[in-house]
Amino acid sequence: MPERVLALSKQVSAIATSRVEDIRKITRAARILGLNAAIEGARSNNAGFGVVADEVGNMSGNIARLAEALHDELSAKTVELEELGQKLIANIRGSRLADLALNMIDIIDRNLYERSCDVRWWATDSAVVGCADQRSAAASDLASARLGVILDSYTVYLDLWITSADGTVLANGRPQQYSVRGANVAGEEWFRRALGTRTGADFVACDITRSKELGGAAVAAYATAVRAGGQVGGKIIGALGIFFDWEAQSQLVVDSVRLAEGERAGTQCMIVNADHKIIASNARTGSGKTFPLKTGARSIGSYVDADGSLIGFALTPGYETYRGLGWYGVLAQSQAR
């Protein structure tokens, strides 16, 4: 529909230009006719020819002025019509990009909500509770084996760690790959915040960080306290930290945005954090860089940036008990297509 409006405005402009040119041709012919009448009147000393020449001249002048006025008015209106058409197209495309951005961040939210369920559930597992409670080699080995079974089924994780209340890692699910047993993580944000949870119904979700213990991989860490007896209100005896493989999983999401075939080359799909730093992109570049997002205090919307690119964005709405971390889904589409 908007494309049709633009096409029609261009057709109107072309028709108007053509008709004005026709009027100009008639005006030029009338002027020549008037000039010939004036010459003939002077040659034959006939005043009637002079009157005719004057009238023809006046008429051609009026037609010329009318043609110019028509040209100016039509030009202004067709320019306005084209601008309105372009704005309409930008609004429709912007709304579509914003909807795609919302869908993208919603998929991320739903995925991360499941991680919050996982960590609260697994923290009540008897092997996990026993490991934190007994702090023996046998209990740690049993818990490690149990975590390994979980990881075989939940392939979205890099590793799962059980710690004591003082931050010592007692067991992990992939000890052959990540030798972290015995390390102390008391200084880690996820651990400190896990010990600050009020009940077993609470959890901690941390922003994306790179873990040196996990080979420098980007992870979304989720954690909660391990409580005596696995009870919601039990005494804190340790913590469970689970590490979502952010790069691999987020890449699937940003690569799967439903763009038309002709849009893919000119559209960057991104997840940015609350500080507007890029934490995932289908361009596979720019990670960690700040994207100059201008939301204008809106949670969802679109705008055209300084270089003419159309930007659609949507703030994380959260899902169920996962409120989100202030991230945005963002699509930046070049208009030179």
SS (H, E, C) the chain: CHHHHHHHHHHHHHHHHHHHHHHHHHHHHHHHHHHHHHHHHHHHCCHHHHHHHHHHHHHHHHHHHHHHHHHHHHHHHHHHHHHHHHHHHHHHHHHHHHHHHHHHHHHHHHHHHHHHHHHHHHCCCHHHHHHHHHCCHHHHHHHHHHHHHHHHHCCCEEEEEEEECCCEEEEECCCCCCCCCCCECCCCHHHHHHCCCCCCCCCEECCCEEEHHHCCEEEEEEEEEEEHHHCCCCCEEEEEEEEEEHHHHHHHHHHCCCCCHHHHHHEEEEEECCCCEEEEECCCCCCCCECCCCCCCCCEEEEECCCCCEEEEEECCCECCECCCCCEEEEEECCCC
Q: Which CATH number fits domain 115-249: 3.40.50.720, 3.90.1150.10, 3.30.420.40, 3.30.450.20?
A: 3.30.450.20
pLDDT at 202: 96
Q: Which residue did the predictor score with more confidence, 57 or 325?
A: 325
Percent of the chain whose pLDDT exceeds 90: 63
Q: What is the CB-side half-sphere exposure of residue 103 using CA atoms within 13 A?
A: 15
Highest mean pLDDT among 53-57, 75-79, 181-185, 308-312: 181-185
Q: Is the pLDDT of residue 131 over 70?
A: yes
- Show the CA angle centred on residue 18, arms to residues 13 and 22, nearest 5°: 145
Q: Is the pLDDT of residue 67 over 90?
A: no
Of 65-79, 96-110, 160-174, 295-309, the poorest mean pLDDT is in 65-79
Domains 2-89 and 115-249 share a fold: no
Q: Is the pLDDT of residue 287 over 90?
A: no
| 225-261 tens-digit pLDDT | 999 999 999 999 999 999 999 999 999 999 999 988 8
Structure tokens at 15: 């028709």
Confidence band (pLDDT; 50, 70, 90) for 92? confident
Q: Tell me which residue of 282, 283, 285, 277 sits closest to 254, measured CA to CA.
A: 282
Q: Which residue did the predictor score with more confidence, 204 or 93?
A: 204
pLDDT at 88: 72
Write the CA distances from 79 to 22, 76, 274, 285, 336, integer angstroms.
21, 5, 40, 39, 20
Q: Where are the domains of the chain?
A: 2-89, 115-249
| 26-36 tens-digit pLDDT | 666 666 665 66
Confidence band (pLDDT; 50, 70, 90) for 270? very high
| 175-195 tens-digit pLDDT | 999 999 999 999 999 999 999
Average pLDDT over residues 87-109: 89
Name the CATH superfamily for 2-89: Methyl-accepting chemotaxis protein (1.10.287.950)
Q: Is the pLDDT of residue 332 over 80?
A: yes
Q: Considering the chain, what is the average pLDDT of its residues?
A: 86
Q: Is the pLDDT of residue 77 over 90?
A: no
